[in-house]
Amino acid sequence: MVLERVPMISVDRGRCTLVLAMQAVLEYLGQSVDYDYLMGVSGAGFLFYVNPKEPIAAKWCEAMRERWVHVVSDAVGLELRLMDTDEALLQHDPESHFYGAFGREVVESLEAGRPCLGFTCFEGPQWDIIAGFSEGRLLCRSIHNKTSSSGLIGHIQPYDSNELWPSKIILIGQKKSVSPRLEMIAKALEVGLEIGRGICDDTGSGPLTGPLALSAWAELLMERTSPKDLAAHQKLRSTLIDSRISLERFLRWVETELGRELGPDVGRARRRFSESFRTLLTTDFTEETMADRDSWRKVIQRIRSLQEVESEAFGHLESVHNDLNAFGQVGSG
């Protein structure tokens, strides 16, 4: 069983594989959705997680992943369902456990002509597309494109057989109504503001988000990182650049949609987020910079300055969100 002509996932360094995989599946289903728009409307453009104990970009916390699925479902007009299983159980007989946990749903989805998203079908972590199965293996699209052949168009290149068994899948369901634009914008800002408040989970011990993540990143940089850690810092840099570029483009659209009354505050936030990625584009994360104490100190100072920049940006968006809620209450009365 295999769905033909599912698009390839093309990814540049730092780009969000969850959004890219969803974008490719939507294209297959006949919906052309811009990457930057999907990053913004889902809240993914606000994302920047830092583990305060090590310079590794943290995984999406479970609560935010659930919110992502809900918000995207309303924005694109499709039922989405996130299914999860215990990763520890996948360590023992992973193939049998995968099919026991997800097999029926995956088969039914493919038979209905709808690919699934799978979390880490290959070394990752990343999101991949499950387009079929053969002889017990999953047939996937992946950012790695192991079997891609020169000269073949993206959607007709061979599929890859999975190397790992995903612990999470996202199922695409039936069409539904799309949220009204103002409601959709308000939801995106609500998710973004949750991220901006800084704590990823209810325990307070998880990864940090928003401006607090920038503070944690600066602290990690002060530890005079090793060359191995430098690669992780470079990934944090590219991840933040990508998310903020997409967010700036999304907010430009929101600014136009909200017009003269609410648009100016969106524009102020957009310009501050733009300052973030432009600062990082001109900041060197190299071994030469790391070896020079003064140069490395300037890098740290730049990251610290971004904490204030992004705090101001989130403040402007909170004002917009409050005004949107007030407008909605008036409109519903």
**141: its two tokens:** 């699209």
Q: Would you give per-residue pLDDT tens digits along the chain (333 residues)?
A: 899 999 988 776 568 889 999 999 999 999 999 999 999 999 999 988 888 776 665 555 555 678 889 999 999 999 999 999 887 777 788 899 899 999 999 999 999 999 999 998 988 788 999 999 998 899 999 887 655 555 555 666 788 999 999 999 999 999 999 999 999 999 999 999 988 887 665 555 667 889 999 999 999 998 866 777 888 889 899 989 999 999 999 999 999 999 998 999 999 999 999 999 999 999 988 889 988 999 999 999 999 999 999 999 999 999 999 999 887 643 333
Q: Please give the pLDDT value at position 329.
A: 43
Q: What is the pLDDT of residue 333?
A: 35
pTM score of the predicted model: 0.89
Nearest to 199, CA basis, from 190, 210, 211, 208: 208
CA torsion sign, 102 to 103 to 108 to 110?
positive
Please say whether the dihedral angle defined by the alpha carbons of residues 8, 14, 20 and 22, taken in this order, is positive or negative.
positive
pLDDT at 177: 95
* CA angle (293, 297, 298) in 5-degree steps: 120
SS (H, E, C) the chain: CECCCCCCCCCCCCCCHHHHHHHHHHHHCCCCCCHHHHHHHCCHHHCCCECCCCCCECCCCHHHHHHHHHHHHHHHCEEEEEEECCHHHHHCCHHHHHHHHHHHHHHHHHHCCCCEEEECCCCCCCEEEEEEEECCEEEEECCCCCCCCCCCCHHHCCCEECCCCCCEEEEEEEECCCCCHHHHHHHHHHHHHHHHCCECCCCCCCCECHHHHHHHHHHHHCCCCCHHHHHHHHHHHHHHHHHHHHHHHHHHHHHHHHHHHHHHHHHHHHHHHHHHHHHHHCCCCCHHHHHCHHHHHHHHHHHHHHHHHHHHHHHHHHHHHHHHHHHHHHHHC
**Quick one: which of 99, 108, 139 has its CA closest to 121?**
139
Residue 54 in contact with residue 39, Cβ under 8 Å? no
- Strand ranges of the sheet holding 160-161, from the earlier edge strand across to the other edge: 78-84, 168-175, 116-119, 127-134, 137-141, 160-161
As a whole number of angstroms, the distance between CA 131 and CA 25 comes to 10
- CB burial of 306-319 (b: ≥16 within 10 Å; e: otherwise) equals bbebbebbbebbbe
